[in-house]
């Protein structure tokens, strides 16, 4: 079911619960107890066209959605648009796509709370980008830890073909020295485009352990 769009955007972290089992052992008038920690459990979920049905095609306000996954607790997600003329979730085989108000520096932000991210993968793109060499549309993606320190980031302009189209595929796997990632930021920026320009996220996959 779609969630109502809210005016206030906030971020939160998906909580994972570690089970603790107390085992009692009898002795000579003595009860000993010890705790056994559950092993981490792996989960994976993809924000795709089907997930888009949980969001509203509302351009003027932020949305806070606890995304139902079917494999874990809901994933707390914030979507924040700015100067967007039209918005579509779950259409054309994409999680989300958006068109700007013409000639404005439009944008939209996606923030996801997730505990102990181990793998990240995203496919995104632009269509009909009419900007010149100094006005190409930009993507900025950051994986951050609990202190909001950047663990991994990608910031670049889309590489365009002759039609003004471009796609990007990015992947990350947690390394042995990486901090624990708890937040994902995906920020997309238009630069003085026509309303025909389309910045979209085709899919975004998260794998985590908790």
Which mean pLDDT values do the consecutive 10-residue runs of the chain (210 residues) have?
A: 37 36 35 51 96 97 97 97 98 98 96 98 95 79 98 96 95 98 98 94 96
Measure the CA–CA gap between 70 and 144, rounded to whole angstroms.
25
Measure the CA–CA gap between 74 and 54, rounded to whole angstroms.
12
Measure the CA–CA gap between 84 and 194, rounded to whole angstroms.
11
Measure the CA–CA gap between 196 and 85, rounded to whole angstroms.
10
Q: How confident is the model at residue 39, as a pLDDT?
A: 63
Are 47 and 72 in contact, with CB atoms under 8 Å apart?
Answer: no
Are 129 and 164 in contact, with CB atoms under 8 Å apart?
Answer: yes
What is the pTM assigned to this prediction?
0.82
Q: How confident is the model at residue 40, as a pLDDT?
A: 73
Helix (H) or strand (E) holding 74: none
Are 83 and 101 in contact, with CB atoms under 8 Å apart?
Answer: yes
Q: How confident is the model at residue 126, as a pLDDT?
A: 97
């Amino acid at each position: 079911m779609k969630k109502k769009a809210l005016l206030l955007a906030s971020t939160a972290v998906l909580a994972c619960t570690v089970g603790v089992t107390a085992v009692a052992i009898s002795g000579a008038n003595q009860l000993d107890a010890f705790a056994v920690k559950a092993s981490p459990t792996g989960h994976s979920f993809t924000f795709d066209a089907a997930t888009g049905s949980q969001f509203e095609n509302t351009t003027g306000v932020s949305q806070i959605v606890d995304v139902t996954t079917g494999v874990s607790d809901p994933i707390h997600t914030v979507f924040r648009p700015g100067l967007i003329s039209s918005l579509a979730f779950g259409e054309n085989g994409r999680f989300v796509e958006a068109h700007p108000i013409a000639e404005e520096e439009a944008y939209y932000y996606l923030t996801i709370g997730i505990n102990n991210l181990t793998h990240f993968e995203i496919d995104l793109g632009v269509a009909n980008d009419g900007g010149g060499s100094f006005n190409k549309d930009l993507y900025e993606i950051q994986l951050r830890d609990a202190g909001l320190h950047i663990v991994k980031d990608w910031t670049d302009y889309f590489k365009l073909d002759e039609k003004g189209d471009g796609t990007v595929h990015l992947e990350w796997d947690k390394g042995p020295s990486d901090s624990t990632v708890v937040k994902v930021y995906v920020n997309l920026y238009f630069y003085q485009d026509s309303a025909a320009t389309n910045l979209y996220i085709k899919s975004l996959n998260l794998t985590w352990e908790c």
